[in-house]
Structure 1
């Protein structure tokens, strides 16, 4: 159970530290108790997030945050819990202060409960500092409480603050520590993070995986240190830690992290990226440092992980820095270089859009248009341009681009892209009431084999009734139906049912290959008045063979389901009764089958 008093001991350490950092940086705003125990707040992170927390006394009943984190409690909720607790403590101190004033003024009308509290405070046990074993005392103090005390005490006692800095910080920043290589230290975190797991196939430890929890816990410390170095204007150390964090995550990321809800590599990349931006914007950062950052980011951006898994947009970070430290022409040169280097990558269109945005920002509309035309072979760019033309109601130009896209897709044999362009054409034709083009496009989409029933129904409303049967027959001849049946709908069978084509449906069921039993169970009842006798014979033949070849309860359950469907046919109950009697005789030793057949 999470409460305002114990959440620091329950929340995962990484999440707790992030939440505390957000709170101490003043990221929590608009804190409000809308009704008793119902708190809301806004927490500024990558963007502003809304947090809602329900309390019953000190107990946290529930929480909600609209951030994308899909693990347990998130850092924004934790920051809000700190704020609520701090708010409650302020209220308590305020009440106590008022009580003291009343007492000083000689007010005799103090509540009994308040009197008890004052007596408890006055009766606090006194002790002699000389008698206290500090080490023993520290052994049961929570680290968070100790940290809070050190911060509060150092803020009011200059002598203690100086001693603290001399002990832990001056040494870190001294000349003797200048040779400290934070890059190597971060690399070692990853190199030393492999743990062995016992293989289920061998009696030895031979399955190695990375201890990600330990990795990111140590990265927390380095990123905190980098942030502190930035405040002390130790910029080279901040740069080294932030850049190496991005590099090491990119070089070592693996699929295991995709399934770990408690660890988000993206969070650490964002922290490192934010630090780099702060360094670039710092007044004491030299041009040489900025150029070095940009050059290394170019290398990091080439790490495939950042594109394959979309964990962090290094390109966007690079573009922001690029624009802030170089002329527009130099920034465009960098984008053109990246476009050439990544001409075969699937996310090339994102770089194209960045270049277009940059050109538009410089009022270079013609160059932006030329860039779009140059990269129209990318489906994302073509789709963007088509939708832009549709918004402007430039439909003929949009159709021209779509026809070009269809021809290109056919050459490349990208059927999915062809379907996408046809759907956009259909939208245009429907919007402009071009009925003949709507019919042609629906027909092509039906033949392409996707969402066929949707286009079948549209066409049925558009084709004159007297022409419909011929049109449908000709269209269906162009579709290579596979005759596959499962418990999903079969398009060919669905059309025969709707068109009341009993003979064609029966032929389809008779000739079904894989999944014939499922085909009968789905569609045989539509033919009960015309083909019951033949369908019952098919059922019996299939079930006899099925029972002979398959042993196990799941197969017996399937037999029972099929028998229930068979009963729906004319004469089906009599046939089922006889078949069940035969199974009881032949398979009397299959107790699980006998249990399934009891219902008949």
Structure 2
């Protein structure tokens, strides 16, 4: 995305809102080369950061709760950045705040800096806590760092909690402060082992309050990913024995119900997969835990999800024989069965592929899983096409045609398999497969239109009204039918309007009548008929004052 034309890559509505927010962008500054920061006033003041690479916009972020790709605050900031870069400075460039800070620290006397820091920390106790944690090794204390971080986390949770609950707005502010706590941990000189313990302490704290936080914006999940990043940094700095211990602890966390109940359990999946990449022992440990949970899963969908996770791990670790063994044991999972089906197709062993598919269909029928049945039927159709087996192609297409509400897609595919002289009879048979109830008139109409059988389409549509269906069908096909049957279509359509209005009242009814009269008026020579109906309705139903007012407003006085 380029600074010159980024508007083309942003949703038009968001871009329009961003243009209206350019005046609310404040303190826009290139704080580091090609790194811009700004504050944008909205419901609250949001912090925006944008990284450029020449004119390419490589990264962006905003602290607002918008969950799309680019919010209006970022769009507004980009507009201001582009404008600022296009304006040629008439005076020497103002040093950035970072440059001013560097210059100040290089010239400021130590005693002045100390006095300012003391005053700053005296006035802000939370900042004092973070300052002391940041320089823990310089300012040793008898209290364990883990306990200090836990106390600060608990303090934040109490601060933002109202009646033991943190609402959506406070959740964002709470998460910001916990993130600052994690940033302090990352920058501290504590040992990797100590940082690991603190990470687990904060993670457990998050899981402990998850039920009491409105996490609509995914703030807790973001914090868990920050913890994951900190663990990823600490892992290679630990001795081998401690790495193994950390692996087991993280693995236990992934299956801990305190995390899984709130969607936080998947945070560590990629981390575990990466750590086990080069350790057969860790891989086997992971797989054993997975197997244990597969066996104890309370329902099929959870068990299947775990088995799919196991297959994904085996694929990542290139354990192909193990993959095949798992798939063979659990052929009831469609994705696993499909692996062997594809292998048979690739080997052109179509008999084996068909056998696997037919077994899968029988199993899916027992489970009453229509989606899986359709999936296997499509695979049978694929094989039929590969072998140019016309009877098999027709069999599978007819099944799909009937199970997909008589779709035109499969109808057209079937038509392509027949010579013209055979199609007339085949077409009649396919049309006859549609159930008799009038609820299937829409499917019938589509096929008749496809064959351009206008007389049959007209006969179908003019049948007595089914509320909510025939009227809409007539409206859909009226332009096509009116060309061939102008008088009949107008008369039938007008009759349906009259019947509907006779039996129904209410503003919603009158609005629908007005819509139908407009449709009638657009038919060849239909305007005069619509005008006469309006006049008739106003005279016949004088007591329906709302109706008369609405008709006059829509069509004028007669």
Fold agreement, TM-score > 0.5: yes
Question: Is 1:169 matched with 2:144?
Answer: no
The 2-side partners of 1:374 and 1:508 are apart by: 54
SS in 1 for 2:376: helix
Deviation readout 1:356-412 (Å, 9 max, x if unpaired):
455467765333211112223223333455456556655544443333332222111
Distance verdict in 2 for CA 1:15–1:219, change over 3 Å? farther
The reply on whether 1:244 has 2:210 as its aligned counterpart is no
Which residue pairs with 1:303 in the alignment?
260
1:221 aligns with 2:180: yes
SS state at 1:176 partner: coil
Write the distance in 2 (CA, Å) between the matches of 1:181 and 1:187.
Answer: 10
Report the equivalent of 1:444: 399
Structure 2: which 5+ residue stretches go unaligned? 1-21, 31-35, 62-66, 119-130
2:139 and 2:207 mapped to 1: Cα distance? 24
Task: Give how far 1:468 is off.
Answer: 2.7
Given the alignment of the two structures, is residue 460 of structure 1 paired with residue 460 of structure 2, yes or no? no
Instruction: Please state whether the residue corresponding to 2:362 is helix, strand or coil.
Output: helix
Pairing 1:497–2:449 present: yes
Change (3 A) 1:450 1:427: farther
**How far apart are 1:462 and its partner, in Å?**
1.5
Structure-2 residue corresponding to 1:101: none
* Cα 1:563–1:72 shift into 2, 3 Å: closer
2 CA distance for matches of 1:465 and 1:595?
54
Task: Tell me the residue number matched to 1:592.
Answer: 550
Pair 1:149 & 2:174 matched = no
Tell me which residue corresponds to 1:582: 536
| CA-to-aligned-CA distance 1:449-501 (integer Å, 9 cap, x gap) | 2571111111122123333343333334444476459xxx9322111233316
**CA distance, structure 2, for counterparts of residue 427 and residue 411 of structure 1:** 24
Determine the C-alpha separation between the residues in 2 that align with 1:363 and 1:464. Answer: 50
Report if aligned partners of 2:534, 2:551 keep a CA contact under 8 Å in 1: no
CA distance 1:387–1:161, change in 2 (3 Å): farther
Equivalences for residues 262-281 of structure 1 within 5 A: 265-281=220-236
Residue 180 of structure 1, aligned match among 130, 147, 156: 147
Residues 357 and 166 of structure 1, relative CA distance in 2, 3 Å threshold: closer
* CA deviations over 1:179-200 (Å, ceiling 9, x no partner): 726456546655664558xxxx
Instruction: Give the corresponding residue for 1:10.
Output: 40
Bigger drift between 522-531 and 371-380 goes to 522-531
Deviations 1:307-342 (A, max 9, x none): 8xxx95443334444557744432321222233344
Residue pair 1:270, 1:312 contacting (<8 A) in 2 also? no
The one of 543, 557, 563 equivalent to 2:517 is 563
2:444 equivalent to 1:513? no
Q: In the superposition, relative to structure 1, how do residues 297 and 153 fare at CA in structure 2: closer, same or farther (>3 Å)?
A: farther
**What does residue 40 of structure 1 align with?**
56
Residue 235 (structure 1) aligned with residue 172 (structure 2) = no
Deviations 1:506-527 (A, max 9, x none): 2454145232322221234544
SS at 1:463 equivalent? coil
**Compared CA separation, residues 235 and 498, structure 1 to 2 (3 A):** closer
Tell me how far apart the structure 2 counterparts of residues 151 and 398 of structure 1 sit (CA, whole Å): 74
Cα distance in 1 for partners of 2:330, 2:446 equals 42
Distance in 2 between the 1:400 and 1:184 partners? 63
Matched, 1:410 2:365: yes
Relative distance call for 1:168 and 1:522 in structure 2 (3 A) is: closer
Aligned to 1:132: none
Structure 1 residues 358 and 558: alpha-carbon distance in aligned structure 2, compared to 1, 3 A threshold: closer
Q: Distance between the aligned counterparts of 2:332 and 2:382, measured in 1?
A: 22
Task: Report if the CA contact (8 A) 1:446-1:455 is conserved.
Answer: yes
SS of 1:216's partner is helix
Query: Would the aligned equivalents of 2:294 and 2:303 in 1 still touch at CA under 8 Å?
Result: yes
CA distance in 1, matches of 2:336, 2:358: 15
SS at match of 2:263: helix
Tell me which residue corresponds to 1:64. Answer: none
Select the residue among 275, 290, 303 that pairs with 1:335: 290
Structure 2: distance between partners of 1:154 and 1:248: 46
Work out the CA distance in 2 between the residues paired with 1:158 and 1:385. 73
- 1:51-72 per-residue CA deviation (whole Å, 9 max, x = no partner) reads 7x9xxxxxxxxxxxxx974544
SS across alignment from 2:466: coil
TM-score w.r.t. the length of structure 2 is: 0.70
Aligned CA distance change for structure 1 residues 367 and 177 (closer, same or farther; 3 Å):
closer
Whether the 8 Å CA contact 2:401–2:410 is kept in 1: the answer is: yes
* Contact residue 422 and residue 441 of structure 1 kept, 8 A: yes
Q: 1:268 to 1:402 in 2, by over 3 A?
A: farther
Kept in 1: contact 2:475–2:516 (CA 8 A): yes
How far apart, in 2, do the equivalents of 1:377 and 1:482 lie?
36
Work out whether residues 134 and 189 of structure 2, in 8 Å CA contact, stay in contact via their aligned partners in 1.
no
Tell me which residue corresponds to 1:60.
Answer: none
- Deviation (angstroms), 1:446: 0.8
Determine the C-alpha separation between the residues in 2 that align with 1:546 and 1:155.
88
Match of 2:237 in 1: 282
Contact 1:442 1:455 in 2 (8 A): yes
- Alpha carbons of 1:375 and 1:226: their partners in 2 closer, same or farther (altered >3 Å)? farther
1:536-583 CA-partner distances (Å, limit 9, x unpaired) = 25633543533763433x654432331243356688555434312112
For 1:152 and 1:469, the matched residues in 2 are separated by 91
Q: 1:41 to 1:541 in 2, by over 3 A?
A: closer
